[in-house]
Structure 1
Amino acid sequence: MYDFLALAGQNLLSPIILSFALGLFAALARSDLNIPEAVAKGMSIYLLFAIGFKGGASVASYGLDARLGFSLLAGIILSALLPLIAFGLLRVMTGMSRLDAAAVAAHYGSISIVTFVAATSVLEGRGVPSEGYMVAVAAAMEAPAILSALWLVSRGGEGANTKGMDSALLREIMLNGSIVLLVGAFAIGWVTGEQGLKEIESFIVNPFKGVLCLFLLDMGLVAGRGLRGGGGVLTRGVLAFGVVMPLVGSVFGLGAGMLLGLSAGGVALMMVLSASASYIAVPAAMRVALPEANPSLYLTLSLGVTFPFNLTIGIPLYVGIAMAVSGG
């Protein structure tokens, strides 16, 4: 217990988490602190490229095997299954309409790449290795959750204006910028391997944590503004769901990681992926597929509640549990 508390305390006092806390405080205090949108977008492009490239290079040195294939399959299954669980919890805990509950549930089957990046940084800071191909698992978990949400709505018969899985929506999902960049950088890292990583190491390795701190400062500002303006939709049941669902998802991620025989770091990342909620790819898809769903619900929940919870409490919890059960 002491080791777990020490780990949690160390993670909560890391520059990464404190940068997010600074942004959150500034937004809630109505400070005029602001990160220009172009700068924030540039940082997100850098982080996605760096994590994808490093993951691909790691796979190149690791090699392809059955465990990689089973890990990808597990990620896809989790992404499709978790929205069904989230949907049931939402209907019981909040009384949301079927349409809004399905839209929110899709976010909790997909992933937050920033939460994933923060978790990998925490593991690296503690010297805990993890499977490099987990970034490929993250990419695989983006789309299945959206399909599950559309299936949930189609079974409801509420007459909502839904567009279904047509070619336009499929293109929106598969060619979403974050997915293209993450998968593309992963492929480049895989092809070029360790030699490619050495060539650009000074660009994607050394500055990584500093850029992540600034990016999370901006995310804290965004989350704080969402919390400040989301009082009307954040009932007690909705708030409770935003904390309970990550914990439920992490249990499924823990089980999958243990069944796959992942390392302690890999188990922790599988828990993080299962516990996180999308606020980039899925909102874009929901605007196309479920235009009548309330964006203030799913954006405020995923970015204003679950994201801060995972960043400040969830990651230390998941890492601590993974290390305890895996003997790390």
Structure 2
Amino acid sequence: MDIALTILGTLAEQFQKPTLAFLIAGMMLAALGSKFEVPEPVYKFIVILLLLKVGMGAGIAIRDANFLELFVPAIGAAAIGIGVVLLGSRTLVKAKGVTEVDALATVGLFGAVSASTLAAGMAMLDDSGIAYEGFIGALYPFMDIAALVTAIVMAKVAAARRASTHVAMGGGTLAVSGGKGGAKGALEEGLLKGILVDTFRSPAISALVAGLAIGLLSEPQSVYKSFYEPLFRGLLSILMLIMGMEAWARFSELRKVAHAYILYGVMAPIVHGLIGFGVGMIAHELTGFSAGGVVLLAVMAASSSDISGPPTMRGALPDANPSAYVGTSTGIGTPVAILSIPLFIALAQAFIG
């Protein structure tokens, strides 16, 4: 009973924090038909600054981090990304009215990470006075790339299998012809390399990796503390406002696809977040991973990529329907993931203290 009351109290407290308030305000503006708009270049600029800040902070922290303390969460993050895609291949991919390529593109985004959701989680932990490892931002690429690569490769293998099997009925005989290399044709030379290159070239991953390298290989503390840290909360509030409006606008796109996407978009962030929380607890027991670190690993698992993932999927899987994977991710997954952050904070406070 005490744990339930603790969780409910934490949930009520967190919903009063600025991060969630701006997200909900954005959704209300869109619902009321407001003409409020933030120019796309400004939005991209905000995202780049946030990612540079997260990456730089992670790089600075890694220099002083114990290898084992970083290694275990990093392996866990990659395992979560792959696990989410494999789970989705057994759930959403099998749903009625859902095409395989659309479903795999969707679960790929849900296995990847939303930079804005991660930033929101960090801000909410800071507001609550909960400490977390500075290298958390460095876990982002492990989960992000693992999920995107797994989903894209699975989709290409499935497409190759369909293309390589042609059944012809004639003269009472059944002929089955295989394409070049059969299913292996999907894994043409350089496929994985191409996917990795495209992923690292995406604006989000590029900014994050650049910030990570700067923090790791140089001494950017002065500009980090004087410029990036003071701007972080203000920029994040604007980003939450934009995302709230975009989330509401995306709801209409989901009318064009199967209702299974709606159910998946609502349920997946919670399920994935709990999986991430469980992996974080394992890291906590093995290495002393902090309560805040456990929360942020759960937040990354619950999030769905809204920046790096969509352009990666659009380039790698051009046959996939953006209304399905972007609508589900941005329209439902992202707001549900952000709204679920208080749940993971409450669980950490109840089970770790």
Q: TM-score, normalised by structure 1?
A: 0.91
Q: What is the deviation of 1:94?
A: 4.6
* C-alpha contact 1:279 1:302 (8 A) present in aligned 2: yes
Q: What is the deviation of 1:266?
A: 0.5
Aligned match for 1:178, one of 201, 204, 225:
204
2:278 is matched with 255
2:174 is matched with none
1:14-53 equivalences in 2 (<5 Å): 14-53=17-56
Letter in 2 for 1:184: A
1:131 aligns with 2:133: yes
1:81 is matched with 83
Letter in 2 for 1:54: G
**What runs of 5+ residues in structure 2 fail to find an aligned partner?**
165-184
1:142 is matched with 144
1:271 is matched with 298
1:71-122: CA deviations, max 9, x gaps?
2111112111210101212034454121111111111111111100100110
Q: What is the deviation of 1:162?
A: 7.4
2:176 is matched with none
Distance 2:195 2:323 in 1: 21
1:224 is matched with 248
1:288 aligns with 2:289: no
Aligned match for 2:348, one of 293, 316, 322:
322
Structure having the higher Rg: 2
* C-alpha contact 1:271 1:318 (8 A) present in aligned 2: yes
* C-alpha contact 1:272 1:315 (8 A) present in aligned 2: yes
Distance 2:96 2:123 in 1: 35
CA shift in 2, pair 1:185/1:292, >3 Å: same
1:53-92 equivalences in 2 (<5 Å): 53-60=56-63, 62-92=64-94
2:109 is matched with 107
Q: What is the deviation of 1:141?
A: 1.5
Q: What is the deviation of 1:187?
A: 2.1
Q: What is the deviation of 1:163?
A: 8.7
Letter in 1 for 2:262: L
CA-based RMSD:
2.1
Q: What is the deviation of 1:201?
A: 1.2
* C-alpha contact 2:132 2:293 (8 A) present in aligned 1: yes
Distance 1:159 1:24 in 2: 43
| Percent of residue pairs bearing the same amino acid type | 28
Q: What is the deviation of 1:257?
A: 0.9
The aligned length equals 322
1:11 aligns with 2:11: no
**What runs of 5+ residues in structure 1 fail to find an aligned partner?**
none
